Amino acid sequence: MLSLKFIQENKQDVIEKLKIKNFDASQIVESILQKDEERKKTQKEQDDILAHINSVSREIGDLFKSGKADEANQAKEKSTSLKQDVKGLTEKLSQLEIELHDLLVQIPNIPHVSVPAGKGAEDNENIKEGGEMPQLANGAEPHWDLAKKYDIIDFELGVKITGAGFPVYKGKGAKLQRALINFFLDENEKAGFSEIMPPLVVNEASGFGTGQLPDKEGQMYHVGIDNLYLIPTAEVPVTNLYRDVILNAKDFPVKNTAYSACFRREAGSYGKDVRGLNRLHQFDKVEVVALEHPDKSYAMLDAMVKHVEGLVQKLNLPYRILRLCGGDMSFTSALTFDFEVYAAAQKKWLEVSSVSNFESYQANRLKLRFKEEGQKKPQLAHTLNGSALALPRIVAALLENNQTPEGIKIPDCLVDFCGFDMIK
RNA sequence: GGAGAAAUGGCAGAGUGGUCGAAUGCGGUAGUCUUGAAAACUAUUGUACCGCAAGGUACCGGGGGUUCGAAUCCCUCUUUCUCCGCCA
């Protein structure tokens, strides 16, 4: 969430910039400022009374010590009546704090100046294309048919044991998953991201820290009996490692990578674009997460985009990089670049990575701060993350683009990890 | 799952009803000394909110209660440790 102070100091700017995200903040900003005034006033009243009670209590102590019990008992009555006054104020104050917080949480992150206006995916800015488009023979098959033909991914079996969107990978299909995970982790490690293997379930505080809660509650699987959530991405546990942490400025940059299974309910997205591996409830992804000094977070974003581009290039997939428009960006992001690869048989661009700078938006929820050398006040860090990479759509594109009459060719960079160079 | 013990500042650890935001040690920072470093010595060293400031308020695992007053007493939840049981 945005910090209250920032909203107070940049009121008009906040309202203007959020228009890019098609969000009308004028009213909510107004109520926030008003609510905060009321909060301050109430807290001041409360603090004054508490200060009074404290001083009376100290007097009582002294009076008892010096044996003046009568005066002490008089003072006691006074203190009791003050306590009555403070009780109502305390309730009012905590109510105000809850209301203020509920309002703050409703404001999305401010988009970076470079974010184009727009309503949806069609308005994203195509900033770069790379790789070669494969020339497939007539009768090229989409990956769901290839998966069946070579018996490497079984969608029906997944339905039987769990449900739609939970595929079963078999034989070389399973090995290919493992190979991709290892390849990505190794590449990320080489780029300076140190590896984390996080829990796949998180508590409520973590869901809140990265912004999945409260607004995207329906997107996560919830284990009701223990009140835990299955992670939709490793971003959640990894970023939350740094919740309530005050870093030293010289600790930057902090760079982590993590493989995890990801779980998404994808409620409401049935029907379109969900065939085969295009959209799943459970999938594998390797994530990169970075914490950086506010002055350097955009340089880090560029570096991360470059790194992800390198991965896609090594896999020899045709790709494009999009700068997301205001309407297509996530609630929490300030600037996002999406990577899409081309799956030549279904003739579709598939999103395989999303690299974002959240600036201090997540950090404010996480209370992730840092101290500058010689400065007393901690300030909010910047957080960034990106997929490097999400597996299913990479697999979809690999299968489709690399199909030959002899079988499916494995890209060179994966052969050592797989132990085979063709799926036949 | 059963029984018992515990949770205090970056860490270790004192504090069982009043001047305790909290002793002491270690660590960190600044300084003195030194050619430099180490050692020694001196000072300083939590977070948030209100306030121009002085200062005030809150926080001793979380929540609630008793009391004029709670780190300290009571209830409750969570977590950790020890023992027993079960188990990859």
Picking from A23, A277, A262, the residue whose alpha carbon sits closest to that of residue A152 is A277
Residue type (1 letter), A319 = Y
Confidence of residue A271 (pLDDT cuts 50, 70, 90): low
Q: CA-CA distance, A129 to A138, in Å (whole number)?
A: 25
Domain over A121-423 is classified CATH 3.30.930.10:
yes
pLDDT at A269 over 80: no
Angstrom distance, A7 CA to B59 C1' = 26
- Residue A139 tokens read as 């009768």
Instruction: Please check whether strand B approaches the CB of A197 to within 7 Å.
Output: no
At CA A20, angle to CA A19 and CA A22, rounded to 5?
60
Percentage of chain A surpassing pLDDT 90? 70
- Nearest nucleic acid nucleotide to A82, CA to C1' distance: B68
pLDDT band at A268 (very low <50, low <70, confident <90, very high): low
Q: What is the ipTM of this complex?
A: 0.85
Q: In whole angstroms, what is the distance from residue A346 CA to residue A401 CA? A: 10
Residue range A4-104, CATH number: 1.10.287.40
CA of A108 to C1' of B78 (A): 32
Closest nucleotide over all strands to A54 (CA to C1'): B69
What would the mean pLDDT of A47-63 be, rounded to a whole number?
89
Tell me, in Å, how far CA of A369 is from C1' of B47?
Answer: 12
Q: Please, which pLDDT band fits residue A270 given cuts at 50, 70 and 90?
A: low
Can you give the residue ranges of every domain in chain A? 4-104, 121-423
The nucleotides of chain B lying under 7 Å from a protein CB are: 18-19, 47-51, 56-58, 68-69
Residues 375-414 of chain A within 7 A of strand B, judged by CB, are: 376-378
Query: pLDDT value at position A415?
Result: 96
Q: Do A363 and A159 contact (CB within 8 A), yes or no?
A: no
> What pLDDT is stored for residue A62 in this prediction?
84
Range with the poorest average pLDDT among A116-125, A132-141, A321-330, A349-358:
A132-141
CA distances from A349 to A4, A320, A394 (A): 40, 9, 11
Peptide linkage before A214 cis (omega within 30 of 0): yes
**Four-residue CA torsion sign, A362, A201, A340, A131:** positive
**Which nucleotide comes closest to A48 if you measure CA to C1'?**
B56
Distance, CA of A364 to C1' of B75, in Å: 35
Give the closest nucleotide to A43 (alpha carbon vs C1'). Answer: B50
A267 pLDDT band (50/70/90 cuts)? confident
Q: What pLDDT was estimated at residue A82?
A: 85
